[in-house]
Amino acid sequence: MSLESVFCQGGPLRRVFSHYEPRQAQTTMAQAVEDALEAGGVLLAEAGTGTGKTLAYLVPALLCGRTVVISTGTRNLQDQIYFKDLSQLLTALEVDASVAYLKGQENYVCRRRLAQLAHTGRALAHPAHRIEELLSWSKRTHSGDRMELPQLADDDALWQEVCSTKDTRIGAKCPFHSECFVTLARQRASRARIVVVNHHLYFADLSTRLKGGTLLPKHSAAVFDEAHLIEDIATEFFSVAVSSSKIWHLAQDALASVRCAALSIDPYENTRPKLADAVRSAAQDLFFNLGAKEAGRVDFDPTGLSREEIERYHRLDSALEALQHSLLAIEGQDEAVDHAAHRCDDLRRDLASLLGRPPKDYVPWLETRARSVVVGMSPIDVSGMLRDGVFFNLPTVVLVSATLSTAGDFTYLKSRLGLDFPTQDLSLPSPFDYSRQARLFLPTDLPDPRDSTFMDAAAHWTAQLAQLTLGGALVLCTSIRGMQGMYERLAQCAPFPLLLQGQAPKSVLIDRFMQDTTSILCATSSFWQGVDLPGHALRLVVIDKLPFAFPGDPLTSARIAALNESGRGAFHAYQLPQAALQLKQGFGRLIRTARDRGIVAILDRRLLTMSYAKLFLRSLPPCPATTDFAELKQWWLECEKSVTPQNGEPAD
Ligand code: SF4
């Protein structure tokens, strides 16, 4: 079957995708992916919103006959590809290809941990009916995937205690191994020709492979969608980190494993709870004294620890050693107990490396979270690891995203990912008509964003713009402080329902926003990308500042220093293109379909005054810009006239 025959007007796609229309950019991209799968090499395919990029790589992947791993940046996209796009494509193309999906193991319930929880006193810490529900679901489900439990919050405490994790998974010697959901999912993936994973799992596999293991089946090609996220996710997986909650869970798991093992000879039976308590309190003492008052990640100098801090560390190390010995002293073989003892050892080793002199290419950091403190170190540069582990290791790699280049130039992404060899580069514009569908508004009377009066003026403009669009606004801020400041001020001056990131899980906030189309959602970080709000619900995106990465972040500042030292000039090689790509992502939230209309307002006057502003503006979709509010208002009122009152959608 040729690509032309698939992507044509009367082709098979129309049978399953009722709104399918051929798009030149989609066919061009599909052809490039097919060529890359045949000839090998690395293809960078930047495709604007609305190109139909998912089908453009899935069709050639299905038709090529090779084992291909499709990796996505988010679980949402992974679910959509596997459960919707792939299953419909298999029907449309009538190809006989085995497909499977595999997620990070913390997405699957661990039968051993669940049984353990149900049989120990820990279960009392959770409502009995919730444990009952989980137990009965675990007997019914075929996948064991938390996706089947939509009511679970991202950080649900009960789920943390019963999911499979890298630390708690025993593997082949586990009594539940043959019916284990992780084992079964991996077996299905090992037999499939198309395996859909996410970047977290892909890089977990890469870091496992460096230690001699593997999580993914052997494959000869990989397609990374949302490829702009690769550097951050790879950095996370090549980092070493220990948190206070990780130690707390270890102490708890150790006790639970022993209780469930029903051992005959246990010399530490009566004292072990005290040993576990000693671990917990020593961890509390060390970590919470290191932690800062405010949440966030800061520099950490392990070589500058005070005498008290070193003593606290030694107390924790001794407590872990004592717990480990108490587990090893148990007679008889029990894998869960053995595993807990090994975890004590791993933690002691990680702590010793984190609190010693860091390797030259790593930057140490300390992160204070709502309920825990984390000590970690991250590689400053992952380009070598990616080049050797991914790009030189696979015959074909395809990188796909709506944001890979700044104004058509791929230099930044290539330098960050280690692509210092010839690649195929493709940049396909969005099919949307931005000149008709959108306006970029740049007010001229705002103070500099570093000025103390900026926040008041920014909130004033946001309220005025929201009055024009009657809500339906997503306010993207570059910091949590900025987001809260904006929210508090809007509460005073904007007569619309307000939503704030963090008030509820992301999916709940998005549902509320879509339901009440007059609302204003104030957000930061994760809402800049991967948020899809098509239709009339979103008509205004306000961006408070140019999204330069916070230079006080230890990793960002180490990367800036490394580039400046190498003579490459961090501002132009790193900070500027990174911010331009982030702005492009934020802008991309507005127009999601050919029927959407709306305004993007950027409240940072540097876009009007600084010479580097050109790169930001040239990287955005070709959308008319104005600094004149009266002109903007007139355009918007004209747009509104074309909206049908029945469904709130533009009438074209
Ligand atoms: S093999 Fe691992 S994940 Fe599976 S049930 Fe056993 S401990 Fe849990």
For 498-510, what is each residue's pLDDT tens digit?
Answer: 999 988 878 889 9
Q: Is 170 in the pocket of ligand 1 (CB under 6 A)?
A: yes
Ligand 1 centroid to residue 161 C-alpha, Å: 13
Q: Is 645's pLDDT higher than 60?
A: no
| Per-residue pLDDT at 416 | 97
CA distance 108 to 191: 19
Check: CB of residue 356 under 8 Å from CB of residue 251: no
Q: Is 19's pLDDT higher than 70?
A: yes
Most confident of 159-173, 290-304, 332-346, 432-446: 432-446
Q: Looking at ligand 1, which atom is closest to the CA of residue 181?
A: 4
Ligand 1 centroid to residue 164 C-alpha, Å: 6
Which segment of 170-184, 273-287, 348-362, 593-607 scores lowest on mean pLDDT? 170-184
Ligand 1 centroid to residue 105 C-alpha, Å: 10
Angle at CA of residue 375, ends 381 and 287, nearest 5°:
170
Higher-confidence residue of 332 and 640: namely 640
Backbone angles phi, psi at 540, to 5 degrees: -145, 125
Ligand 1 centroid to residue 334 C-alpha, Å: 14
Q: Is 169 in the pocket of ligand 1 (CB under 6 A)?
A: yes
**Looking at beta carbons, which pairs linking 33-38 to residues 24 or more positions away fall under 8 Å?**
33/57, 33/60, 33/61, 33/223, 33/398, 34/3, 34/60, 34/63, 34/64, 35/424, 36/396, 36/398, 36/424, 37/61, 37/64, 37/66, 37/68, 37/221, 37/396, 37/398, 38/64
| Per-residue pLDDT at 648 | 45
CA distance 449 to 545: 7
CA distance 527 to 312: 39
Ligand 1 centroid to residue 594 C-alpha, Å: 47
Q: Which residue has the tokens 């000039």?
A: 569
Higher-confidence residue of 328 and 558: namely 558
Residue 91 has which token pair? Answer: 């029907």
| Per-residue pLDDT at 123 | 58
Q: Looking at ligand 1, which atom is closest to the CA of residue 174?
A: 6
Break the chain into its structural domains and give their ranges: 3-98+192-236+382-428, 105-182, 240-379, 434-641
Q: Is 483 in the pocket of ligand 1 (CB under 6 A)?
A: no
Residue of minimum CA distance from atom 2 in ligand 1: 169
Q: Residue 435 — very low, low, confident or very high, per pLDDT cuts 50/70/90?
A: very high
| Per-residue pLDDT at 410 | 97
- Are both 3-98+192-236+382-428 and 434-641 of the same fold? yes
Which segment of 114-128, 382-396, 601-615, 620-634 scores lowest on mean pLDDT? 114-128
| Per-residue pLDDT at 270 | 75
Q: Looking at ligand 1, which atom is closest to the CA of residue 113?
A: 8
| Per-residue pLDDT at 388 | 94
Q: Residue 647 — very low, low, confident or very high, per pLDDT cuts 50/70/90?
A: very low
Q: Is 174 in the pocket of ligand 1 (CB under 6 A)?
A: yes
**How is domain 240-379 classified at the CATH fold level?**
Four Helix Bundle (Hemerythrin (Met), subunit A) (1.20.120)
Q: Is 465's pLDDT higher than 50?
A: yes
Higher-confidence residue of 292 and 66: namely 66
Q: Report which of 174, 187, 103 is spatially closest to residue 144, judged by C-alpha positions.
A: 103
Q: Residue 652 — very low, low, confident or very high, per pLDDT cuts 50/70/90?
A: very low
Q: Residue 463 — very low, low, confident or very high, per pLDDT cuts 50/70/90?
A: very high
% of residues, the chain, pLDDT over 90: 73
Q: What is the pLDDT of residues 21-52, one digit of tens each?
A: 899 999 999 999 999 999 999 999 999 999 99
Buried b (16+ CB within 10 A) or exposed e, 49-80: bbbbbbbbbbbbbbbbeebbbbbbbbbbbbbb
| Mutational test site, ligand 1, from 111, 168, 253, 342, max ligand atoms within 8 Å of CB | 111
Q: Is 177 in the pocket of ligand 1 (CB under 6 A)?
A: yes
Helix or strand run (H / E) with residue 367? strand 362-368
Higher-confidence residue of 641 and 247: namely 247
Collect all residues with Cβ–Cβ distance below 8 Å to 371 and sequence separation of at least 6.
Answer: 245
Q: Looking at ligand 1, which atom is closest to the CA of residue 336?
A: 7
Mean pLDDT of the chain: 91
Residue of minimum CA distance from atom 7 in ligand 1: 169
Ligand 1 centroid to residue 173 C-alpha, Å: 9
Ligand 1 centroid to residue 109 C-alpha, Å: 9
CA distance 594 to 400: 21
Angle at CA of residue 368, ends 363 and 372, nearest 5°:
115
Residues across the chain:
652
> Residue 543 pairs with which residues in a beta bridge?
476, 602
What CA–CA distances, in Å, run from 88 to 14, 19, 25, 92, 612? Answer: 11, 13, 21, 6, 45
| Mutational test site, ligand 1, from 138, 170, 179, 334, max ligand atoms within 8 Å of CB | 170
Which segment of 47-61, 160-174, 463-477 scores lowest on mean pLDDT? 160-174
Q: Is 111 in the pocket of ligand 1 (CB under 6 A)?
A: yes
Q: Is 182 in the pocket of ligand 1 (CB under 6 A)?
A: yes
Ligand 1 centroid to residue 179 C-alpha, Å: 9
Q: Report which of 599, 614, 590, 586 is spatially closest to residue 432, judged by C-alpha positions.
A: 590
Which segment of 42-46, 85-89, 221-225 scores lowest on mean pLDDT? 85-89
Ligand 1 centroid to residue 165 C-alpha, Å: 9
Q: What is the pLDDT of residues 276-331, one digit of tens each?
A: 999 999 999 999 899 877 788 999 999 999 999 999 999 999 999 999 999 888 86
The class of domain 3-98+192-236+382-428 in CATH terms is alpha beta
Alpha helix positions (H), 566-612: 570, 576-587, 606-609
| Mutational test site, ligand 1, from 105, 107, 112, max ligand atoms within 8 Å of CB | 112
Residue 450 has which token pair? Answer: 């570093």
The CATH superfamily of 434-641 is P-loop containing nucleotide triphosphate hydrolases (3.40.50.300)
Q: Is 112 in the pocket of ligand 1 (CB under 6 A)?
A: yes
